[in-house]
Every structure is written in C-alpha cells, then in structure tokens.
Amino acid sequence: MRSVRLHSYNQSPSIDLVPEPEISHPFDVLVRIGGAGLCRTDIHIVEGQWREKSGVALPYTLGHENAGWVAAVGSAVEHFSVGDPVIVHPLATCGFCLACRAGNDMHCMSSAFPGIDSDGGFAEVLRTNARALVKLEGGLSPADVAALADAGLTAYHAVRKASPLLPPGSSAVVIGAGGLGHIAIQVLAAVTEAEIIVVDRSEAALDMASSFGAHYQVLADGSEVASVMDLTGGKGVQVVLDFVAEGGAERRGPAMLQRAGSYFVVGYGGTVELATIDIISSELNVVGNLVGSYTDLVELMALAARGSVKLHTAKYPLDAFAQAFEDLQAGRVRGRAILVP
C-alpha cells in the first residue's frame, strides 16, 4: 500500500509502497483510512522536535488523526466488525492499568501512539487496537471527522474539565482561535451558557470565532488583559483556556482571572511563572490538559452527529501530501488539512 514515510529528520517524507500491516495481537484491528488529519505536530516531527520523546525508529509512517472503516479484527475482538465506520482514538491503550480503569486513557502506563511512536495513518491501512475505536453513528463520514480525533479531542477534553466552573452568568476566555480554539468555542457554546471571550492576533480569526459562537472578540495587541477586565467589569473571568501558551499568552492568561479562577494550559512553548504570593492571595489554579479520554471522544462524536461541532477542512488526496504539507507550512490551509487515500 502507499504510505507517507519519514526517512530522515528535516527532509520531506516520501510516498512509499509498503506491505499492509497485519494483525499480530488478539485485540489488534486494521482500519482502512477514510481521512487522516495533517497538523503542526507533523511539521514538528519532521523537524526532529519529537525525536527523543517518541524514540521512533526511522523510517516510519506519519499520521495521528485518523478515521476510516474496520478492515480486519484480531481473534478476541467482539465489539467491531469489518466495515464499521470508525474514528480512532490517538492512543492504543492497555485497559489494565489504574489510569485506564479510571477512564484516563491519556495516562495509560503502556500505550502506543500510532503516527508518533509507531506507524500512523498517512497510509491506506492503519493498525491499532480495538480499545481505540469509536464507531461512527448518525451518518458521520470518516473524512469529515478525522481531525476531531486529536485536535478536536484535545479541545473537547479541556472544555469538558472547565465546564463545571462555568455556570450561567460566568465568563470564559479562549486564547487562540485556530485549529483547537475554534472547536473549543463551539463546545463551550454547546455545553455551557458562559459568556465566551475570544483573544487572537488575527482579525480574520476573531471574525470566524464569532460565527462559531464567541460573544466578544479581543485583538491580542498587548492590551488584551485590560480589554478582558473592561468586558468583565474589572473582575476578570472564571476560566481562561490557553491554546497558545507561548509568546506572552502564558503571562497574560493568568492575569485575566478573577479570584479563585483557573488557567487551563492546552498549548505549549512558553513557561508559566507565577509568584506563590499571587497564587495563594487570589487562590488561583493552573490546570494542565493532555489529549482526552476515550469517553471524551465518544461525547465529541455525539456533538458532531447533532451538528453542534463543525470542522472546516481542506481535503487532499494522499498522493498530494507534499502539497498539503507545503500549504500548511505556508499558512495557506483554511481549517484543517485532511489526507484522503
């Protein structure tokens, strides 16, 4: 089959002909890819930023946002049949450790992460395990939802954790209205009645955010803390969801909080620096967020099926990977680039 494989860091991946993966474990499944999202993490992988963390041996197949149809199942798989349309949770987890038992799939003690530490979904067929599959219902098409498998899941997970802090009458700031942020805004609008304030450097992104449900737009021009304070009568907000978390956002985000407020870190790159006197005197919280659980993905699919979360996608044939990659690097992709084999 064709697959997009990275042979060495800082060089363009190539499209290779390789054998299809095979079932090797009773809970393995093969998924015929219907769509695989391309994201900035793929750029970082090619640049070598994940070399040590993933420890993956080159060459290998990229692609960690996958959806398609079940193509084969291991001997012990009972919950899926060949042909089932599925979206693929990014982690193939063990189901035995206490993290898996508690539904915290992202903290599984022995998981695989196809597309990061093993062969991924920029290919005709992907191998993962049966615990990673969520059956698509309500007529959802793999290529339309693939980007929800990772970007959407991460945004959903953070908003879901924040939602108990956001009763009617409260306010939330979303920093960064890009790939994850525009999903977060839709989820906030769906599962809370909070006032949603979006902060971004781009006027175009702010305009789009409004169409997704944001109530107030704040241009990130250095005065964003003051703007948020103005919008909230000087009090600040209950929750800041930071999808940027670098370049100063990580300093300004916590400054937008009211007493007992919570700063949710989703993006990365910068460093949070907070004097302990400020942490205690306002009783602030800093909350890390990592991908999401299997149940988060099931719930996100329910939102997608009823039209509460929509994705903007630009589809490319698998063979056009180089073009898609170049468009992404050049900032020419509107929404999310999806490779369709």
Residues 289-308 that bind a copy of itself (CB under 8 A): 289-290, 293-295, 298-303, 306, 308
Contact predicate 21/127, CB 8 Å: yes
Give whichever of 17 and 101 is closer to a copy of itself, judged by the CB atom. 101
Site for a copy of itself in 5-44 (CB under 8 A): 25-27
- 43 CB neighbour count, 10 Å cutoff: 13
Closest contact distance (angstroms) between CB of 97 and a copy of itself is 8
Distance, CA of 245 to CA of 269 (rounded, Å): 6
Which amino acid belongs to residue 233? Answer: G
Give whichever of 134 and 318 is closer to a copy of itself, judged by the CB atom. 134
Among 15, 72, 190, 255, binds a copy of itself (CB under 8 A): 190
Site for a copy of itself in 108-137 (CB under 8 A): 110, 130-131
Site for a copy of itself in 269-288 (CB under 8 A): 269-277, 279-288
| Binding pattern for the stretch 41-70 against a copy of itself, x by CB under 8 A and - elsewhere | ------------------------------
Closest contact distance (angstroms) between CB of 3 and a copy of itself is 27
Residue 128 makes CB contacts below 8 A (sequence gap 6+) with 28, 29, 31, 66, 88, 92, 112, 114
Distance, CA of 178 to CA of 245 (rounded, Å): 13
* 265 makes contact with a copy of itself (CB under 8 A): yes
Select the span of 60-68, 92-100, 174-182, 328-336 touching a copy of itself (CB under 8 A): 92-100
* 169 makes contact with a copy of itself (CB under 8 A): yes
- Rounded to a whole number, what is the distance in angstroms from the first to the last CA of the chain? 10
Torsion on CA atoms 241, 286, 194, 225, rounded to nearest 10 = -70
Select the span of 35-43, 101-109, 141-149, 203-211 touching a copy of itself (CB under 8 A): 101-109
Distance, CA of 236 to CA of 306 (rounded, Å): 33
Among 7, 81, 96, 248, binds a copy of itself (CB under 8 A): 96
Distance, CA of 39 to CA of 19 (rounded, Å): 25
Give whichever of 19 and 101 is closer to a copy of itself, judged by the CB atom. 101
* 212 makes contact with a copy of itself (CB under 8 A): no
Distance, CA of 87 to CA of 142 (rounded, Å): 7
Strands 237-242 and 257-265, by their bridges, are parallel
Q: Report DSSP letters for 147-160, one per residue.
A: GGTTHHHHHHHHHH
Give whichever of 241 and 324 is closer to a copy of itself, judged by the CB atom. 241
Distance, CA of 209 to CA of 198 (rounded, Å): 7
